[in-house]
Amino acid sequence: MAEKITKKDLNKLFWRLNLFQVSWNYERMQALAYLYTMVPVLKKVYADKPKEGRSQAIARHLEFFNTMPSFAAPVLGITAALEEKEGNSASSVISALKIALMGPLAGLGDSLIWLTWMPICMSIGASFASKGNPIGLLLALLMFNVVNVGIKYFGIHMGYNQGSKMLDNIKESNVVQRYTTMATILGLLLVGGLIPQLVAIPIPVALTIGKMSVKIQELLDGIVPSLLPMLLTLLCARLIKKRINAVFILLGIIVIAIPLVALGVLG
């Protein structure tokens, strides 16, 4: 039997996946979005099937689902392949597959995309923007979406073409762990290197003893360049490690900085 699903159908899944977070609720999370994304495949596979069969497939994809949106791509690809080959006879397999994959892929996607790649892109963009260069934002968005959109597109096609074999290959090659470690190290190095450029705590105060004047900022820079930005960054990291909300830390910095600037302690 010739394959019903074409590359064009898979591309339709890709375009719909970009709207994955538009429909979201607290009962079934991304279930409606998952069904919306799968509609082109379901229309093709169940075009000549009884109405009851289509209804069963629709209900199956309205079950609870929640993962990192970009990493839903391989799940959609594998699901499309199973729908085409087995249909409703693989209903329990499809449901179990979605449940089994959404948790690990959510953790993987969050760690690679939101916690590693996003900070790298935005840090590079911020370094340009801090110098008044408007290309910073465009560069950050371009870098981020090259990876993010690429995962969506190739994830769907690889998931469909390789099916469950792709998961076995990934597990056996240990590629996920290797790339996660590499990305984490790169992100830490890059963000750490940008601290002196992006974090500034200038102290305009000068101590005058007789005819001699000593600027506090020059004194601190003579000990360790960018000492105060480094200490502030380490303090914030320590507070975050203690599970203090980053928003509260940011608000605390603002509350402390405003009166210090007003008093002339900070520049």
Write out the chain's pLDDT in tens, 267 residues. Answer: 445 888 999 999 999 999 998 888 888 889 999 999 999 999 988 888 888 888 999 999 999 999 999 999 999 999 998 888 888 887 888 888 888 888 888 888 888 888 888 888 888 888 888 888 889 889 999 999 999 999 999 999 988 888 656 555 655 556 556 655 665 666 666 666 667 667 777 887 777 776 777 777 777 777 777 788 888 888 888 888 888 888 888 898 889 888 888 888 777
DSSP the chain: ---S--HHHHHHHHHHHTTTTTS-BTTTBTHHHHHHHHHHHHHHHTTTS-HHHHHHHHHHTTS-B---GGGGHHHHHHHHHHHHHTGGGGHHHHHHHHHHHHHHHHHHHIIIIIIIIHHHHHHHHHHHHTTT-THHHHHHHHHHHHHHHHHHHHHHHHHHHHTHHHHHHHHHHTHHHHHHHHHHHHHHHHHHHHHHHH-------EEEETTEEEEHHHHHHHHSTTHHHHHHHHHHHHHHHTT--HHHHHHHHHHHHHHHHHTTS--
Q: Are residues 76 and 113 in the same domain?
A: yes
Q: Are residues 50 and 116 in the same domain?
A: yes
Answer yes or no: is 193 within a domain.
no
| pTM of the complete model | 0.64
Q: Are residues 167 and 210 in the same domain?
A: no
Q: Are residues 164 and 212 in the same domain?
A: no
Kindly report the number of other CB atoms within 10 A of residue 220's CB atom.
Answer: 16
Q: Are residues 156 and 243 in the same domain?
A: no
Q: Are residues 21 and 152 in the same domain?
A: yes
Q: Are residues 88 and 208 in the same domain?
A: no
Please state the domain count of the chain: 2
Could you list the residue range(s) of the whole structural domain that residue 221 is in? 202-262
